[in-house]
C-alpha cells in the first residue's frame, strides 16, 4: 500500500462521523420530555441506580445463547390446545389489528380448531375455548404477529452458565406468510411442511452437531458482514446453513427432504431473525428484576400497542399507541395499506443490534429507506440513550466500536431521543401479508410512564 | 426513526470522506515518474487512446462469469503429464522462489513423476521432462504459487455472450497448503481427496444446478457483505455453499462424502477466492489487445518478479522485482520469514475488487493490518488511477459508488500512485506454507516500461 494511504488513520474518519452526529444533536436538541423533571430528579437521587444499571448491563452482556434443540411448542414451552401466543404486550381479540387477527385465524385452522379462517374469527371473538397470551410471558418472542400454537416447531436457546432458555418459531419467509397476517391455503401448507419435515430435520441436525450453534458469536460475525440482524440476516442465515448442513445431510433423512430444506432456508435471507430474537431475549431476561435499574429489558408491539418493560419495575408493561413505520413499500402497496408497528422483533434493538447497529449494515437502506449517511447517524445517535457498548457486537466502520446497548429510560426521557427501530410493515387488512419495511420509534408515553413508575419505586427513608 | 436522524443525508458523509481523500492527495502529491514525460506526451496525443480505453473498460464491464463445469486440468485446458502451470510472468526453476519451488515439488509427487519432493527438485532442476508455463498463458489463474498439474480439478467459468472460458483450481484452505509452498504428506493427502472426492462431487452438483452459479452477481453481493473478494471471501464462500449444497445432496453421492465436502468448503473462508479470480480474468481477457488502450489487463507475481500486461501491448509482460508485503504475521512468523509477493490473485485488483474495494470490507484490517480509515482511504485513492467505476461492484459505505476499476498506466505514471494490492504472505523457505497477510504495490518499473512501449506503439503519420 502506498505510504500516502497508510498515513491516514481511523481518527480522521471517526472525527468526521463524530462531527456529523454532533451537528445533528445541536440542531435538534430537545429539553426533557414535559412533566418528567421531578421523576428524573427522584431517580437521579436513587443511590441504587448506578450500580443497578451496571449490573443489568453486565448481566445482559454475560449471556451466551446456544441453539440446543428444536421442539414443537407444546413440548418446548408446554403450550396447550386453544392457547395462542402473540407478539407485544397483552391484548384481546377485540382490540387486535388486522395482521394479528389474520395470523390467529390461520393458526386456528392449522391446529384443527376450526375448518376455515372465517370460522376461526367467531371462535376467537367468542373467546370461550381460546386463550391469548404474549410470547414474552412464556420465555418466547415472535416476529410480527408472533402467533405461536402448540404444533409449531421452535428453536430452543440456552445460556450454558445458567441453563436459562428462550424460544422462537422457525421463520416462514417473506410476503404472504402467517406472521404478516396471511392465512391463504399456501400459507398453511407451508406451515404444515415446516411442522412435518423441516422441524424434525432441524431437530436431528441440532442434536447431532457436536458443538451447539453459538448464536451470540454468529451475531458478532454478522455485524462484520453487513447484517444488523433485524432486517438484514443474510450472513447469519448463510452461517446457519454452513454449520447445520453437514448434520442435516448426515441425519439419515431422505435426500430430497434435505435438499428441499436447504433450499428453503437458503432462499430466505430472514431465516436467522428467528434465532437472533430469542438470543436477544435470553440476554435481556438475565437483566430483569434489578431494583433501581432503568434499563429497558423488552420493547414489543402487538399491532395496536407498543409496550416496554424495564428492569427495575418487574413485569409491568408501559404501553402507548403503536406508530406506523416510515419506509419503502412492496409492489403497489403504500402507506395507506400499512398496519401500525407489530412484533417482538424490537427485542433486537433492546439488545444493541437491529436499528442500533445500522452503521454495520449500510446496505439496509435499500430495504427500509433513507441514505447510507442515515444508517451511520442512526447508530451514532443511539449512544446518547444507551448505557454502554456491546462487547460482542462491533461496528467495523466505526473502528470496531461496540454497538450502543442497553436503552436507558432516564436518558430517553432526558434527551427526548427515542430508540431507532427498523421493522417489516404488515398489511392492515387480515390476510394481506407483508407490504413493506421501514423505520419507527416507540411512543414517548412508554418512557414517561416508566420514569414515573421508576421514581415511585425509589426507596424513601 | 427520529426526525433529527433522518435529516442527515449521505452528502455529509460523502463530503467528509472526500475531504479526507483530498487532504491525503495534497500532502503526498508527487510529480510524474521520472523520465516518463515524453512517453506520457506521446500517448496523450494518440487519437485512438480515449476510445480505446472506453472500449477496454466497457468490454470488461460487459462480461458475466458463470460457473459452468468442474474438470481436471488435463480435460479443462489440455494440460499434459510433465506440464506445470505457475502464477505470474514466465520464470525458470533457477530463478524460482522457495514457495514456488515447494509447490512444484509437491505437485510432481502428486502427479507420480517422482516419489519424494527431494527427487522432484532434481527433476525440475534438470528440466528435461518438465515444462513450466504461466497460468495466464493457458486461460487460467492460480493463487500464490499457482501451480496446476493435469490431475488437479479446476472451476470452469464461461461468459455466455461469447463462450470465452477461464479456469482456476479448487482452494485448499489456509496454512500448510501447496499454493503457499508446503508439500508435507498431509498436503498431498488433502489434494488427493480433493481430486478423488471433492472435484467429482462438485462437478455433479454444478452440472445438476438448474441455473449456473453467477459468480459476477455473487461478487456484487459480497461487497455488500464485508468481503472485498481477495482476502475476505467469507460471504462468497457461504453463498457458494447455499447455491450448490442442494445439488450436492441430490447428486447421489455418499452422504458421508457430501457432509465432508460441506464441512471442507464451510471451514475455509477463502474457498470462493478461486472463483473470484477466474471471474476477474474472464472479464479482463475480454479487454485484451485493443490498440491504444493503456488499461492494465493482468497484474501477477511469481514470487520473484511482478509482471503486468496492458491491453494495447498484446501479451507482452512488463516486469520488475516483486516487493515483500507489509502486514500481519501468523504465530511466531515475522518479516524475515516472508517471501516476496506471489500469485495471480492481483487479478482481483486489476478488475476493481480486492485492494481496490477495501472500503467495502473494513474488517479486513484485522487480517492484513492497518486501521479502518486506511481501508476507506485506500479505495478512495484508487479512483485517481482507474478509468471508471464498476457497474456491478458497489461500496455501500461510499453511497453505493462503484469500485475504482480499470488501472490506467498513464494515470499511474502521471500521479506516481501505485495500485493497492492486499495479499497472503508465503514463507520464503520451500515447504513452509502461509506466514501472514498484508499489503503491497507493484514496482514502478512495470508502469514506466509499459508507458514506453505504449508510446512506441502510437501510430506516427
Choice among B2-16, B111-125, B210-224 with the minimum mean pLDDT: B2-16
Q: Do B373 and A13 touch (CB under 8 A)?
A: yes
Q: Do B238 and A243 touch (CB under 8 A)?
A: no
The answer on B102 and B211 residing in a single domain is yes
Distance CA A268, CA A238 (A): 10
The answer on B207 and B105 residing in a single domain is yes
Choice among A118-127, B107-116, B389-398 with the minimum mean pLDDT: A118-127
**Residue A284 belongs to a domain:** no
Distance CA B92, CA B104 (A): 12
The answer on B189 and B221 residing in a single domain is yes
Q: Do A7 and B27 touch (CB under 8 A)?
A: yes
Taking contacts as CB-CB distances below 8 angstroms, the residues of chain B near A440 are 1
pLDDT in tens, A341-357: 999 999 999 999 999 99
- Give the minimum alpha-carbon distance from A459 to chain B in angstroms, rounded to a whole number: 34
Q: Do B4 and A12 touch (CB under 8 A)?
A: no
**Residue B3 belongs to a domain:** no
Predicted pLDDT of residue A16: 46
Residue scoring higher pLDDT (B370 or A128): B370
CATH number for the domain that contains residue A266: 3.90.1710.10
What's the DSSP call for residue B21? H
Burial class (CB in 10 A: 0-12, 13-18, 19+), B189: exposed
Residue for grid cell 412464556: A138
What's the DSSP call for residue B129? S
Crossing angle of helices B444-457/B37-44, nearest 10°? 50
DSSP string, B29-44: --PPPTT-HHHHHHHH
**Residue B262 belongs to a domain:** yes
Q: Do B13 and A13 touch (CB under 8 A)?
A: no
Taking contacts as CB-CB distances below 8 angstroms, the residues of chain A near B260 are 246
Per cent of chain B over pLDDT 90 is: 90
Per cent of chain B over pLDDT 70 is: 93
The answer on B339 and B248 residing in a single domain is no
| Minimum-distance CB partner of B27 among A4, A234, A439 | A4
The answer on A333 and A219 residing in a single domain is no
Distance CA A142, CA A154 (A): 10
A224 touches chain B (CB under 8 A): yes
Residue B95: other Cβ atoms inside 10 A? 12
Predicted pLDDT of residue A31: 87
Q: Does residue A310 carry a pLDDT above 90? A: yes
pLDDT in tens, B64-77: 999 999 999 999 99
Predicted pLDDT of residue B365: 92
Confidence of residue B460 (pLDDT cuts 50, 70, 90): confident
Per cent of chain A over pLDDT 70 is: 93
The answer on B401 and B273 residing in a single domain is no
B279 touches chain A (CB under 8 A): no
φ and ψ at residue B448, rounded to 5 degrees: -70, -35
**Which of A257, A278, A299 is at the close of a domain?**
A278
Task: Determine the residue of chain A that is closest to B323 in CA distance.
Answer: A1
| Minimum-distance CB partner of B363 among A20, A396, A440 | A396
Helix/strand/coil (H/E/C) assignment for every residue in chain A: CCHHHHCCCHHHHHHHHHHHHHHHHHHCCCCCCCCCHHHHHHHHCCCCHHHHHHHHHHHHHCCCCEEEEEEEHHHHCCCCCCEEEECCCCCCHHHCCHHHHHHHHHHHHHCCCCCCHHHHHHHHHHCCCCEEEEHHHHCECCCCCCCECCCCEEEEEECCCCCCEEEEECCCCCCCCHHHCCCCHHHHHHHHHHHHHHHHHHHHHHHHCCCCEEHHHHHHHHCCCCCCCCCCCHHHHHHHHHHHHHHHHCCCCCHHHHHHHHHHHHCCCCCCHHHHHHHHHHHHHCCCCCCCCCEEEEEEEECCEEEEEEHHHCCCCEEEECCCCEEEECCCCCHHHECCCEEHHHHHHHCCCHHHHHHHCHHHHHHHCCCHHHHHHHHHHHHHHEEEEEEEEEEHHHCCEEEEEEEEHHHHHHHCCCCCEEEEEEECCCCCCEEEEEEECCCHHHHHHHHHHHHHHCCCC
Predicted pLDDT of residue A461: 66
Confidence of residue B10 (pLDDT cuts 50, 70, 90): very low
Predicted pLDDT of residue B456: 97
pLDDT in tens, A182-238: 999 999 999 999 999 999 999 999 999 989 999 999 999 999 999 999 999 999 999
Predicted pLDDT of residue B214: 98
Cross-strand partners of A315 = none
Confidence of residue B175 (pLDDT cuts 50, 70, 90): confident
Predicted pLDDT of residue B461: 66
By the 8 A CB rule, do B250 and A255 touch? yes
A404 touches chain B (CB under 8 A): no
**Which of B251, B278, B305 is at the close of a domain?**
B278
Predicted pLDDT of residue A175: 84
Can you tell me the mean pLDDT for A281-298? 98
pLDDT in tens, A147-171: 999 999 999 999 999 999 999 999 9
Can you tell me the mean pLDDT for B80-87? 98
Residues in CB range of A148: below 8 A, 6 or more apart: A73, A79, A84, A85, A86, A107, A135, A140, A142, A154, A169
By the 8 A CB rule, do A359 and A352 touch? no
Can you tell me the mean pLDDT for A246-261? 95
By the 8 A CB rule, do A425 and A435 touch? yes
Task: Determine the residue of chain B that is closest to A256 in CA distance.
Answer: B250
**Residue B316 belongs to a domain:** yes
The answer on A207 and A174 residing in a single domain is yes
| Minimum-distance CB partner of B235 among A20, A225, A420 | A225
Taking contacts as CB-CB distances below 8 angstroms, the residues of chain B near A378 are 1, 5
CATH number for the domain that contains residue B309: 3.90.1700.10
Can you tell me the mean pLDDT for B43-63? 96
Predicted pLDDT of residue B28: 53
Distance CA A248, CA B88 (A): 42
pLDDT in tens, A379-424: 999 999 999 999 999 999 999 999 999 999 999 999 999 999 999 9
Predicted pLDDT of residue B29: 60
Distance CA B95, CA A336 (A): 72
- Structural domain containing residue B165: 66-278
**Residue B2 belongs to a domain:** no
Distance CA B36, CA B48 (A): 20
**Residue B6 belongs to a domain:** no
Can you tell me the mean pLDDT for A6-27? 38
Predicted pLDDT of residue A13: 43
Q: What is the pTM of this model?
A: 0.93
The answer on A250 and A264 residing in a single domain is yes
**Which of B226, B247, B278 is at the close of a domain?**
B278
**Residue A21 belongs to a domain:** no
| Minimum-distance CB partner of A20 among B8, B373, B398 | B8
Confidence of residue B195 (pLDDT cuts 50, 70, 90): very high
How many residues belong to chain B?
A: 461
Question: Is the Cα torsion angle B176, B178, B182, B187 positive or negative in sign?
Answer: positive
Confidence of residue B174 (pLDDT cuts 50, 70, 90): confident
- B407's enclosing H/E stretch is strand B401-407
Please give the ipTM for the structure prediction: 0.92
Q: Does residue A63 carry a pLDDT above 50? A: yes
| Minimum-distance CB partner of B245 among A3, A245, A439 | A245
The answer on B295 and B156 residing in a single domain is no
Choice among A127-136, A296-305, A399-408, A441-450 with the minimum mean pLDDT: A127-136
Q: Does residue B24 carry a pLDDT above 60? A: no
Helices (H), B306-406: 347-350, 365-368, 372-382
Residue A149 sits at the vertex; the CA angle it makes with A145 and A154, to the nearest 5 degrees, is 85
Predicted pLDDT of residue A6: 26
Can you tell me the mean pLDDT for A331-335? 95
The answer on B135 and B72 residing in a single domain is yes
- Give the minimum alpha-carbon distance from B241 to chain A in angstroms, rounded to a whole number: 7
The total of structural domains in chain B comes to 2
**Residue A4 belongs to a domain:** no
Predicted pLDDT of residue B1: 30
Q: Does residue B146 carry a pLDDT above 90? A: yes
Q: Does residue A12 carry a pLDDT above 50? A: no
pLDDT in tens, A259-275: 999 999 999 999 999 99
A241 touches chain B (CB under 8 A): yes
> What does the block give as the cell for B445?
518499473
The answer on A316 and A199 residing in a single domain is no
What's the DSSP call for residue B418? P
Task: Determine the residue of chain A that is closest to B356 in CA distance.
Answer: A1
Can you tell me the mean pLDDT for B389-416? 97
Predicted pLDDT of residue A26: 38
Burial class (CB in 10 A: 0-12, 13-18, 19+), A23: middle
The answer on A271 and A294 residing in a single domain is no
B314 touches chain A (CB under 8 A): no
Predicted pLDDT of residue A128: 83
Can you tell me the mean pLDDT for B351-361? 97
Q: Does residue B19 carry a pLDDT above 70? A: no
Q: Do A6 and B370 touch (CB under 8 A)?
A: yes
Distance CA A124, CA A131 (A): 9
Amino acid at each position: 500500500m502506498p505510504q500516502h494511504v497508510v498515513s491516514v488513520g481511523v481518527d480522521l474518519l471517526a472525527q468526521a462521523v463524530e462531527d456529523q452526529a454532533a451537528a445533528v444533536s445541536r440542531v435538534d436538541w430537545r429539553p426533557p420530555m414535559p412533566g418528567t423533571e421531578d421523576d428524573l430528579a427522584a431517580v437521579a437521587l436513587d443511590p441504587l441506580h448506578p450500580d443497578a444499571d451496571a449490573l443489568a448491563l453486565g448481566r445482559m452482556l454475560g449471556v451466551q445463547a446456544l441453539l440446543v434443540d428444536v421442539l414443537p411448542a407444546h413440548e418446548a414451552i408446554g403450550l396447550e390446545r386453544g392457547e395462542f401466543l402473540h407478539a407485544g404486550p397483552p391484548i384481546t381479540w377485540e382490540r387486535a389489528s388486522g395482521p394479528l387477527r389474520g395470523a390467529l385465524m390461520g393458526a386456528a385452522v392449522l391446529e384443527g380448531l376450526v375448518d376455515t379462517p372465517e370460522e376461526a374469527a367467531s371462535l376467537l371473538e367468542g373467546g370461550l375455548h381460546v386463550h391469548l397470551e404474549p410470547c414474552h410471558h412464556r420465555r418466547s418472542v415472535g416476529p410480527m404477529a408472533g402467533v405461536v400454537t402448540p404444533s409449531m416447531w421452535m428453536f430452543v436457546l440456552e445460556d450454558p452458565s445458567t441453563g436459562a432458555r428462550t424460544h422462537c418459531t422457525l421463520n416462514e419467509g417473506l410476503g404472504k406468510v402467517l406472521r404478516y397476517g396471511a392465512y391463504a391455503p399456501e400459507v398453511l401448507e407451508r406451515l404444515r411442511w415446516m411442522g412435518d419435515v423441516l422441524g424434525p430435520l432441524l431437530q436431528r441436525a441440532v442434536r447431532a452437531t457436536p458443538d451447539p450453534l453459538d448464536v451470540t458469536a454468529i451475531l458478532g460475525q454478522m455485524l462484520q458482514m453487513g447484517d444488523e440482524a433485524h432486517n438484514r440476516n443474510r450472513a447469519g442465515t448463510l452461517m446457519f446453513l454452513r454449520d447445520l448442513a453437514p448434520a442435516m445431510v448426515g441425519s439419515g433423512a431422505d435426500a430430497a427432504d434435505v435438499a428441499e430444506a436447504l433450499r428453503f432456508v437458503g432462499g430466505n435471507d430472514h431465516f436467522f431473525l428467528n434465532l437472533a430474537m430469542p438470543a436477544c431475549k435470553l440476554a435481556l431476561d438475565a437483566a430483569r428484576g434489578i431494583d433501581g435499574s432503568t434499563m429497558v429489558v423488552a420493547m414489543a408491539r402487538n399491532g395496536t400497542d407498543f409496550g416496554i418493560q424495564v428492569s427495575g419495575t418487574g413485569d409491568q408493561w408501559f404501553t402507548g399507541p403503536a406508530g406506523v413505520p416510515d419506509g419503502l413499500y412492496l409492489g403497489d402497496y403504500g402507506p395507506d395499506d400499512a398496519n401500525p408497528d407489530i412484533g417482538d422483533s424490537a427485542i433486537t434493538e433492546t439488545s444493541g443490534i437491529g436499528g442500533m447497529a445500522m452503521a454495520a449494515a449500510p446496505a439496509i437502506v435499500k430495504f427500509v429507506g433513507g441514505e447510507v449517511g442515515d444508517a451511520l447517524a442512526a447508530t451514532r445517535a443511539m449512544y446518547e440513550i444507551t448505557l454502554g457498548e456491546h462487547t460482542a457486537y462491533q461496528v467495523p466502520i466505526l473502528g470496531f466500536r461496540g454497538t450502543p446497548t442497553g436503552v436507558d429510560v432516564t436518558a430517553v426521557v432526558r434527551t427526548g431521543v427515542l430508540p431507532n427501530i427498523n421493522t417489516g410493515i404488515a398489511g392492515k387488512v387480515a390476510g394481506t401479508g407483508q407490504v413493506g419495511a421501514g423505520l419507527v420509534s416507540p411512543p414517548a408515553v412508554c418512557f414517561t410512564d416508566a420514569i414515573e413508575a421508576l421514581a415511585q419505586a425509589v426507596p424513601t427513608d
